[in-house]
Structure 1
């Protein structure tokens, strides 16, 4: 079944148009004797004009046709293409069905074109299953020819929805083709569901730039699904950018304040060492602290990768050691503490209860043994290789606790 064919004298004819797109009516090719000289635009095989029991006009291949993609398309798919073409025309665009790309590497279900040719957008009706990667690749092929693509489906949760510019639609008796999932607005720090709207209105907003596809960065609020790409007004894109910039500024201020407090604690510890042990011991203590910080920094990526593989979630690793985590780096999944990187063994007893439910990450078996001597017997301790970087010698590691203890 197809809605477009090639007439030997008139050129391309369209079954869904009253004048076939060439100034002739359906009766001139349907049941004509002799048969109208029609052929498939895809494979070149002879085609006939037909009418379904419900009055739908279409073209069908004559017997003996070769394998052809147009012949395998379903009525459901064709009807959705017709609805998209109708909506595109109502939105002010020229719409043509089943258009091949310049190099023949892609074919648009409906190609919507600006009246003056300023842009072209492929409107794709995707009913059958397709992988996320395949649909991304097909989108990129169209983009390489300066043609944007929007994918439409009436399926509930195809795996590609929201990974490319897309929308979920449904057919209503009163409103026709309705876009039910696509639009979003940014408010109160998150993306929320936008209104349902007729497909013609949705396309008009797109054609006029009133809504744009946007790769969101902020979280979503239910019932909006966690789509990577949403359709939204440009002002909401700006609102998200301003919100994230402000959040980043506040985070930077907090980190600067934390760094200042950390520097003050370090200066106090150094002064304590100078008074208690003299300059040489203070210098040794500072060297031990520096070695601990290098070890913690070297483990950040291995810890991130380990947790991502183990849980499927992206952790947040704090940049600053925390006293309540035995001077280790706290690790969070969402708002929940998950683990700690390289805590100081001598400071674990004071935090033993709080650390019991967390995973402790260390850089060597020697460090694991020192920490295990201070934790509960069932404490989980994971040794991760920091790409075998020599952060310090084993002797310096074994003396680390004694040196750091002097700061307490």
Structure 2
């Protein structure tokens, strides 16, 4: 159930932005339970959408009955809250904006949150992934990450809890609690004594906002290690993706 919709007259609407992101041309009150209903469609499947509230008061767009298969239709409230938090984290970084549920060329991929640097145009995707997903294959994490990278949009996958694919792609692991200041559990690694290992707690950004800022500003970089990482979250022996400082990456390269 998406947080964005296409309005036939006003274009893209984003529930995470003031004024729905359309400069005040239309408000939530004007589309929620409006009669006649607002002309809204899904940005992915182009099916009709209806503005709704969840049981906890979160605004979202619900697909009309008999909608076709659509990845946005299957999202849980926890997924929507994580997307909302990621968008807010990106917008807190000076010089960066964020858009939800943006598709790439020919819809080869879709970013849950696409951050854009307003001066340089540099882009980054943050993918909220809370369900089971394959690592390989046409709809797997590896291929999805590669398609976005080819389009000039590197991706960071964000999850909560323990997942079998942690470390198979650049991953941030946060707590399940809601809010952009939710603690980060894993993702930052350091190079110590000729081996990659999880960074000490004092060196790990404590909040999701800190982690997103570090990624967007280049303080942390996605890096594929070429030797086994010392941690049980890497389920693919011999390598894993980690987030590391350029200094640690340089030290590892010098040692090798």
TM-score tier, shorter chain, comes to 0.7 to 0.9
Q: CA deviation at 1:177?
A: 2.7
**So what's the TM-score if we normalise by structure 2?**
0.86
Instruction: Give yes or no for the alignment of 1:240 onto 2:248.
Output: no
Q: Is contact 1:6-1:40 (8 Å) kept?
A: yes
Q: Which runs of 5+ in 2 are unaligned?
A: none
Aligned residues: 243
1:128 matches 2:137: no
More helix by share: 1
Shift of 1:214: 1.4
Matches of 2:196 and 2:143, distance apart in 1: 27
Q: 1:5-404 counterparts in 2 under 5 A?
A: 5-22=5-22, 23=24, 24-92=26-94, 93-133=96-136, 134-158=140-164, 160-172=165-177, 176-194=181-199, 195-218=204-227, 220-221=229-230, 228-244=240-256
- Bigger drift between 56-65 and 94-103 goes to 56-65
The answer to whether the Cα contact below 8 Å between 2:85 and 2:179 also exists between their aligned partners in 1 is no
Q: Which has the higher strand share?
A: 2
1: CA distance, partners of 2:90 / 2:179: 18
Change (3 A) 1:206 1:174: closer
Q: For the residues of structure 2 that align with 1:137 and 1:121, how far apart are their CA atoms?
A: 17
Q: CA deviation at 1:220?
A: 4.1
Asked if the contact 2:205/2:211 (under 8 Å) is kept, the reply is no
Supply the distance in 1 between the matched residues of 2:19 and 2:129 (Cα, whole angstroms): 28
Is the partner of 2:19 in helix, strand or coil?
coil
> 2 CA distance for matches of 1:57 and 1:174?
16
Q: Distance in 2 between matches of 1:39 and 1:87?
A: 27
Q: TM-score, normalised by structure 1?
A: 0.56
CA contact (8 A) 1:5 1:14 kept: yes
Q: Distance in 2 between matches of 1:104 and 1:73?
A: 19
CA RMSD of aligned residues (A): 2.2
Alignment CA distance shift 1:147-1:228 (3 Å): same
User: Which fold has the larger relative contact order, with Cα–Cα distance below 8 Å and residues 6 or more apart in sequence?
Assistant: 2
Counterpart CA distance in 2 for 1:215 and 1:101 is 24
Q: Following TM superposition, by how much is the alpha carbon of 1:13 offset from its aligned partner in structure 2, in angstroms?
A: 0.6
Q: CA 1:137/1:218 → structure 2, altered by over 3 Å: closer, same or farther? A: closer
SS in 2 for 1:9: coil
In our comparison, the structure showing a higher alpha carbon Rg is 1
- Decide whether aligned partners of structure 1 residues 49 and 224 sit closer, same or farther in structure 2, where only a CA change above 3 A counts: closer
Q: Is the 8 A contact 1:192 1:223 kept in 2?
A: no
- Match of 2:18, SS state, is coil
